Chains A and B, each alone.
Chain A
Amino acid sequence: MAAYPFPLEKPALLEAYRRMRTIREFEERLHVDFSRGDIPGFVHLYAGEEAAGVGIIGQLGDGDRIASTHRGHGHCIAKGVDPLAMMKEIYGKKGGSCGGKGGSMHIADLSKGMMGANGILGAGAPLACGAGLAAKYRKKGEVAISFVGDGASNQGTFLESLNLAAVWNLPVIFVVENNGYAESTSRDYGVAVDSYVDRAAGFGLPGVTVDGTDFFAVHEAAGEIIRRARGGGGPALLECKMVRFHGHFEGDAQTYRASGEIDDIRANQDCLKKFAAAVTGAGVITASELTAIDHEVLDLIERAVVEAKAAPLPTAADLTTDVYVSY
């Protein structure tokens, strides 16, 4: 008879919290620094969505691959990409994950199975099918995960990929991060039937819908789906209903959201608060243990920003390197 109330041991719970908190503080810091004009280009923040990213990706190894979206910082951090290198990348500096040549929307780390954030919505789905195909040939039980949003679920690439994965029985998991908005357009307008599980059913694939702000619900559902795929059970779809705290991009005034909506979700649907309440309420972790992690994370983010600002810029010579392996 189990007396322990969670599916993860305490060290794993602490690690999950740390990763979610790292994503949250990374994104919130970017929000502040972007509004001060420190950051070039576009950033799309994952704050509010951490439980889905960590709940799913936390169960993957380096040999498993993920193809991410434009809102990819959370996926990167969950997959183990170094936040210090990520911050340098976002600042366009040398030492960034991509040498400053990719930027926020293209952070990748193939050694960690992170096939890249992607500026083209839906483009990751076929790439994940490719990773799944490679995994099938390698026969090590590896899987690939394709993340799309409710908006990108309308892209032809996504729908084609569902069919291809079904036809080839690929170990690919399609995760729809349903935060209700495709840029400024609500899913009530843009999606003919707001059910991605039903879309998967059209291709004969099983699907599960979970509350994406509940880490444990995500962890359990994702765990079963991943286990099934590893064993050759084929592709499936996981819909995570979630909320994004910030705009589509930084600088988005979000006038398309009802007044009070963001305050309400920050108060009532904060996945980190829910996680903390669950683990402290069960007496498994103390509030001070969590606070200690919070402080360590804030120190890490501060260090990331300081180092990013101090890091050298790429040089003119860097402009023309790495177009090809050889030319």
Chain B
Amino acid sequence: MARKISMKQAINEALDQEMARDPSVIMMGEDIVGGAGGNGELDAWGGVLGVTKGLYARHGDRLLDTPLSESAYIGAAIGAAACGMRPVAELMFIDFMGVCFDQIYNQAAKFRYMFGGKAETPVVIRAMVGAGFRAAAQHSQMLTPLFTHIPGLKVVCPSTPYDTKGLLIQSIRDNDPVIFCEHKNLYGFEGEVPEASYTIPFGEAAIVREGKSVSIVTYGLMVHRALEAAAALAKEGIEAEIVDLRTLSPLDIDTVIESVEKTGHLVCVDEANPRCSIAADVSAQVVQAAFGALRGPIQMVTAPHTPVPFSPVLEDLYIPSAAQIGAAVKRALAGGRH
């Protein structure tokens, strides 16, 4: 029986173990150590939410605090990766991608292809995603679809501490650019995590709950909302199968299709906004590849087409709820009506 640790601790452990194992792994980001240049403590923060605290004591100058310059330091991480290092850069909030997106999608993502297969860019960009912190519109988005869309990037979004550690270690060892999404609302969530180092391959979804009535396909925080919904539905005799995608690119569409072939009904749940979401992407792929398996229309449950509101009551309405997921399941089963 493995011990239980939080997702935050799982991230810290993965980084610690990989840095110990491989001297080419370095980290950089704003305040990942904290207190640089000041008169107080060094390692004052260990990241804005303390995720990287303690790593500086063990790995010293392989952790670099950066000035407020995403373009420059995300680009530097990418450049260093192209020169043989394995940097793990932190983009504090995925919402900040706007100021450095070129380096990610026009440079890192495209080097291997544009340079005819002769480049390797093994960079990991960790970023906090998701709503629920009352952090408002510019610090709460789920921008996974924007990165998933780009050929050349890999996108990972785990829902449990176990998946987090294994997928982060895999990300660091992977030789392509990886966007590693950490849901800020799951940092405190605890689960069983082995102490040893291990990896989880990309492109392998996990069935976190088996069922035969309906397939709920989702990722991140929504896995937990789906589990809540499934518990309620079970009381009404509806057994939902929950597929946790874990990696959005590469996407394990085969496991999704297999599940739909078993259940005949699909509900895609996504914390992102509806247009061009992961939910829309998975739904379209399933319809194209497995239309015959569907016994009713697909339902998508997403955040609304709005920015994330501040007021707690509004933010709680923004984030898809277990109740909304349950209602969507019933609509799916009823042929899409009501």
**Size bin of chain A's contact surface:** 35 or more
Q: B313 at interface (Cβ–Cβ under 8 A)?
A: no
* Contact digits for B120-154, partner A, Cβ 8 Å, 1 yes 0 no: 10000000000000000000000000000001101
User: Contact check: which of B81, B83, B116, B120 meets A65 at CB < 8 Å?
Assistant: B83
* Contact digits for B88-120, partner A, Cβ 8 Å, 1 yes 0 no: 000000000001001100110011111111111
**Which residues of B have CB within 8 Å of A65?**
83
CB of B79 within 8 A of CB of A127, answer yes
Shortest Cβ gap from B198 to chain A (Å): 19
CB of B79 within 8 A of CB of A67, answer yes
Q: A193 at interface (Cβ–Cβ under 8 A)?
A: no
Q: A323 at interface (Cβ–Cβ under 8 A)?
A: yes
CB of A131 within 8 A of CB of B69, answer no
CB of B26 within 8 A of CB of A130, answer no
Chain A residues 104 to 154 lying within 8 A of chain B, measured CB to CB, are 106, 108-111, 115-116, 118-120, 123, 125-135, 137, 144
CA distance A32 to B87 in the complex (A): 44
**Which residues of B have CB within 8 Å of A156?**
71, 99
Shortest Cβ gap from A116 to chain B (Å): 6
**Which residues of B have CB within 8 Å of A228?**
none
Chain A residues 57 to 83 lying within 8 A of chain B, measured CB to CB, are 65, 67
**Size bin of chain B's contact surface:** 35 or more
User: Contact check: which of A99, A115, A163 meets B79 at CB < 8 Å?
Assistant: A115
CA distance A115 to B118 in the complex (A): 11
**Which residues of A have CB within 8 Å of B79?**
67, 115, 126-131, 133-134, 144
Q: A213 at interface (Cβ–Cβ under 8 A)?
A: no
Chain A: which residue is nearest B89 at the CB level? A130
CB of B84 within 8 A of CB of A322, answer no
Chain B: which residue is nearest A98 at the CB level? B116
**Which residues of B have CB within 8 Å of A322?**
112-113, 116-117
Chain B residues 165 to 189 lying within 8 A of chain A, measured CB to CB, are 174-176
Chain A: which residue is nearest B109 at the CB level? A323
CB of B80 within 8 A of CB of A164, answer no
Shortest Cβ gap from A247 to chain B (Å): 24
Q: B327 at interface (Cβ–Cβ under 8 A)?
A: no
CB of A99 within 8 A of CB of B116, answer yes
Q: B308 at interface (Cβ–Cβ under 8 A)?
A: no
CA distance A144 to B76 in the complex (A): 12
* Contact digits for B221-252, partner A, Cβ 8 Å, 1 yes 0 no: 00000000000000000000000000000100
Q: B78 at interface (Cβ–Cβ under 8 A)?
A: yes
CB of A126 within 8 A of CB of B83, answer no
Chain A: which residue is nearest B153 at the CB level? A324
User: Contact check: which of A96, A110, A123, A164 meets B82 at CB < 8 Å?
Assistant: A110
Shortest Cβ gap from B153 to chain A (Å): 9
User: Contact check: which of B85, B107, B112 meets A324 at CB < 8 Å?
Assistant: B112
Q: B64 at interface (Cβ–Cβ under 8 A)?
A: yes
The residues of A with any CB-CB pair to B shorter than 8 Å are 65, 67, 96-102, 106, 108-111, 115-116, 118-120, 123, 125-135, 137, 144, 156-157, 160-161, 163-164, 167-168, 321-327
9 chain-A/chain-B pairs, Cβ below 8 angstroms = A109-B118, A120-B107, A125-B75, A128-B79, A157-B71, A161-B69, A322-B116, A323-B151, A324-B176
The residues of B with any CB-CB pair to A shorter than 8 Å are 26, 64, 66-67, 69, 71-85, 87, 99, 102-103, 106-107, 110-120, 151-152, 154, 174-176, 203, 250
3 tightest CB-CB pairs across the interface, nearest first?
A130-B79, A126-B75, A99-B116
